[in-house]
Structure 1
Amino acid sequence: MNAFEQCQNAGEQIDLFEALATSYEPPTGAFVEILTNIKLERLIVLTIDAFGKIKDADIRERLKQSEDLLAILSEQAQSGKTDSIRLSAARTIVTLGFDYIAVSRYFSEDPQQIADRIMRDKSKEKGLFYAKYNEVRDLKSKLDRQLEQIKSINSDVYYSVIANNNFKDIPSVNIVDDDEYDLIINDYVQSLNILQDNDYVQSLRYECSRLQGEVTKFYKDYKENQLTTILATIDDKIAREYAILKKAKLAKIISPLASLIIVFLILSLWSNWFIIFFYFPGGILGIIAIKIYERKIKSAEKNIEEAENQKSNEPYRLDDEEQKILSLLSI
């Protein structure tokens, strides 16, 4: 019993009883005591299965001659509390090969027929389990993809809110198609409750709802505490661009005259005939200066327009972003 309690899962419990059954001296007396005194379904099923796994021919012969064991197994096969117990008992009776006449004193129906009927019912149950499991798994996969979309929309929201979620992962199910692994299936059913009342799906929806509240709070705090700062920064940018625009417009006006003055001074140092060449280079420099400042004016006007659009659109952008994230948290 101590070894059983130390097992971490149903798989380890199965391995434990198989090792006991195939050991040099299987503890058949302890097995009988378990069937007589213990009520725990899993322990009863594993113990009954263990009788059928014993390899020693002499021990198996003694077991199938045991009227007491046949009586215990017959009662469990017909009146066991669960399908798993009844199935294990019926199959073990068949596996051990009890005398047909002896079996007939306890059964009005062939134990193999009992086992077959239970197996048909269990096949339907397994089908329901896997169908529901796949449905829930697909739902969780869809939610995971939506969380990744949130990360691409706003990484701050993702790492501040979404990454701290309490979503439960679905255990990976890879069960051998063998009756004794019904114990493992039962583990999953009990832990997820996905066949009974969709508790797992409800837990996903509850957590999504909680995160929606956190996201709403995040954006509310952001708008109250940081949006004002962002808009003020945009206003500063607009003011700087207006200053640049004002200087560029003024420079555009005075640059032709400044160009003429510069050319006049330079040519006056070279020749007494500078008047002849004064207007031509002065005009060219003036045109170049005008073009340069026109580009600066256009650049400043474009920057101002973009900044003003950003300022007016930022609250709407945040609202739209928030709604997208809230929508992705709906399943």
Structure 2
Amino acid sequence: MLLKTNRWKIIGLIFASLLLLLLMCGSIIYGYTDTTWKMAWDAFQFNNGSNEHLVITTVRLPRALIAAAVGFSVAIAGVLMQTLTKNPLASPDIFGVNAGAGFAVVIGITMFSMGNLQAITWVAFLGASIAAIGVYALGTAGREGLTPIKLTLAGAAMAAMFSSFTQGFLVTDEAALEQVLFWLAGSVQGRKLEILLSVLPYLIVGWLGAMVISPKMNVLSMGEDVAKGLGLRTGLLKVCIAIVVILLAGGSVAIAGPIGFIGIVIPHVARAIVGIDHRWLIPFSGLLGGCLLLIADILARYIIMPQEVPVGVMTAIIGTPFFIYIARKGFNAK
């Protein structure tokens, strides 16, 4: 643990917040259209309607806000899932929650022509819920009950199933393929501020819910028998965790598509910095998750300029080596 005292953790939290703001500014400034910090300032103070000012205010500002919100949400969902399952590989993408939400959104958009943002959001929540329930049911089947390895296998199976359903559906509908392919890769490009505002209330409920249950998460991490002995209602807590994860993961997929690996990487990085106290771990993970997605999005603009790489591809490039390291290290969740 890098930061051992509460004083240093507060300083670290402030530093992470400032870093997030700096990266959001960088996301607004840097890209294919050549802009400067002065142009950005003028765009918000004295917008003259120029192409540069329009790019800054209508394209890059929503993009920066969406990347920060999605990264924040997915990282917190990863923390909750890893603690709940005692599995260091747990995250919304590995356990099929993102794939379930993505499949539901694809069906809603292509088969039912859903254009209403609220409807798409609720469809994403429904898909995420079905996937989460399916993984839990598969993971608890058998005499041994719930184990990290069974959960991982169940999550991989659920992710593969929903991904196969999605691909099979799109193969039969070329128009639908063109409509959702870039979204399925995970991207914050071209997203409007309206879609963030429509989902933001659910994300805020998820963020606040995660902080409210954070002290109880510390008790649960000591083991279910110990937690029950201390009077914790573990069943109710697990339901609350599931609801928060569905809100955060489903909302993120509705905004930006299924973006992977942040929910795996960031909780481990945050634990190395502040330890396993969820009162600090959750906000640190959220801030670092937002920072990582912003960094990935900025890099995605320059890899094959003037084209852009979907940010989901960039997070996979960053997260895959870390995933392999954790998998080789074993299932000794902290």
Q: TM range, normalised to the smaller chain?
A: under 0.3
Q: Is the helix fraction higher in 1 or 2?
A: 1
Larger RCO (CA within 8 A; separation ≥ 6): 2
Structure with larger Rg: 1
TM-score calculated relative to the size of structure 1? 0.23
TM-score calculated relative to the size of structure 2? 0.23
